[in-house]
Amino acid sequence: MNINQEIPIFFSCDDNYVPYLAVAICSLIEHTTKNHTYKIIILNMGICLNNQEKLKLMETENVKINFKNISKSLHNLEKELRLRLRDYYSIAIYYRLFIPSLFPPYEKAIYLDADMVILDDVAKLYEMDIGDNLLIATKDSTVNDSEVFREYSIAALGIEPQNYINSGMLVMNLKGMRQEKIEKKFIYLLLKYNLEVIAPDQDYLNILCKDKIKYIHESWDKMPDYGTKIPQEKLHIIHYNMIRKPWYYDDVPYADIFWKYAKKTKYYDLMKKEFDDYTDEQRKEDESVIINLTNLAKKIIKQDIKMKDIKLGDI
């Protein structure tokens, strides 16, 4: 990669998630190198000015932060996008699917979820050879660690569990995704079928990009409670996915790393208060979310029409 070539890094966020996004950005910036420039683009539907100003204060000489309000772009689809949301999901999970069309000048980009800590230079991700693949990603340990979710991946999506990816860390071949009409196919599936799925954006990406994914080591998207145990010094990105967040639970693996960077943000006191105020009743509700998700997977497996049955070749 040419020195000083701009690296575009996308996040999706709303006001509720800004404190955790600040932690992700803080950790990302700490691991940047001076011979690259980084452009962070935060996709949103309206983040308040106060939060925007706090995040902009984190900029450095070679890391710039921009906000892209995509309300108008998704206005006609917003109602349909919300239909299958549940639990802790917000419409922000879908934003990554629209990056190729919203940013036509970019041929390649990185996408990261906001509930992450970055422990390596993301330029290393950007420099990976994506070839003719549409995505670079890691397998989803949450799915592979569960018998029900493994069965769901095969029966509902037609994807072998070891090939099912997590969409929290993506290197995206934007040019290839435009050529393959990924967004058009997604909208077709959404408007014509809008079938039940367990991970709304992620299941679609797995289906739409099937057989065109380059897999890398899970240390680039490490989920604390799932997969193999990896020593901290060998981690590149920690992804605090699912329900058990370090700002709510005190026994999450690698939680100390999250709080190390949280203390460096302007949201530390707010997150500490959230942690202190989180109740046992709320934790019980969290457990029910996992149970409900498992039951939904079992229900979808038995349905007559599933995502794997839909043909997309003519689109």
Q: What is the 3-state secondary structure (H, E, C) of 159-186?
A: CCHHHCEEEEEEEEEHHHHHHCCHHHHH
* Per-position b or e across 278-289, b if 16+ CB within 10 A of its CB: beeeeeeebeee
Q: Is the pLDDT of residue 106 over 60?
A: yes
Among residues 74, 312, 305, 61, the alpha carbon closest in space to that of 182 is found at 312
The dihedrals phi and psi of 48, each to the nearest 5 degrees, come to: -60, 155
| Residue 257: inside a domain | yes
> Does the predicted TM-score (pTM) go above 0.85?
yes
Beta bridge partners of 42: 11, 67
CA 60 vs CA 23, 25, 36, 136, 269: distances in Å: 15, 11, 12, 27, 23
> What's residue 193's pLDDT?
82
Q: Indicate the range of 197-206, 235-244, 245-254 predicted with least confidence.
A: 197-206
**How many structural domains does the chain have?**
1
> What's residue 116's pLDDT?
98
- Average pLDDT value for the chain: 92
pLDDT band at 74 (very low <50, low <70, confident <90, very high): confident
Both tokens assigned to 185: 């196919």
| Residue 1: inside a domain | no
The Cα 175–Cα 130 span in angstroms is: 12
| Residue 52: inside a domain | yes
Here the CATH number for the domain that contains residue 128 is 3.90.550.10
Q: Is the pLDDT of residue 92 over 70?
A: yes
User: What DSSP string runs through 192-240?
Assistant: HT----SSHHHHHHHHHTTT-EEE--GGGSB-TTSSS---GGG-SEEE-
Q: Are 150 and 162 in contact (CB under 8 A)?
A: no
Half-sphere exposure of 83 (CA within 13 A, CB side): 12
The Cα 83–Cα 192 span in angstroms is: 13
Number of residues written out for the chain: 315
Residues in CB range of 6: below 8 A, 6 or more apart:
37, 38, 39
Where helices occur in the chain by DSSP H, the ranges are 18-30, 49-56, 71-74, 78-82, 99-102, 123-126, 141-144, 147-157, 174-179, 182-192, 200-208, 255-262, 268-277, 280-301
Q: Is the pLDDT of residue 79 over 80?
A: no
Q: Indicate the range of 147-156, 161-170, 178-187, 271-280 predicted with least confidence.
A: 178-187
| Residue 224: inside a domain | yes
| Residue 315: inside a domain | no
pLDDT band at 219 (very low <50, low <70, confident <90, very high): very high
> What's residue 78's pLDDT?
57
> What's residue 114's pLDDT?
97
Q: Indicate the range of 1-5, 17-21, 120-124, 177-181 predicted with least confidence.
A: 1-5
pLDDT band at 118 (very low <50, low <70, confident <90, very high): very high
Both tokens assigned to 221: 């998207």
> What's residue 311's pLDDT?
84
- Whole domain around residue 82: which residue ranges? 6-309
pLDDT > 70 fraction of the chain, expressed in percent and rounded: 92
- Tell me the mean pLDDT in the region 176-180: 97
By three-state DSSP, how is residue 145 classified?
A: coil
pLDDT tens column, 15-47: 999 999 999 999 999 999 999 999 999 999 899
| Residue 314: inside a domain | no
pLDDT > 90 fraction of the chain, expressed in percent and rounded: 81
pLDDT tens column, 44-62: 989 999 999 999 999 999 9
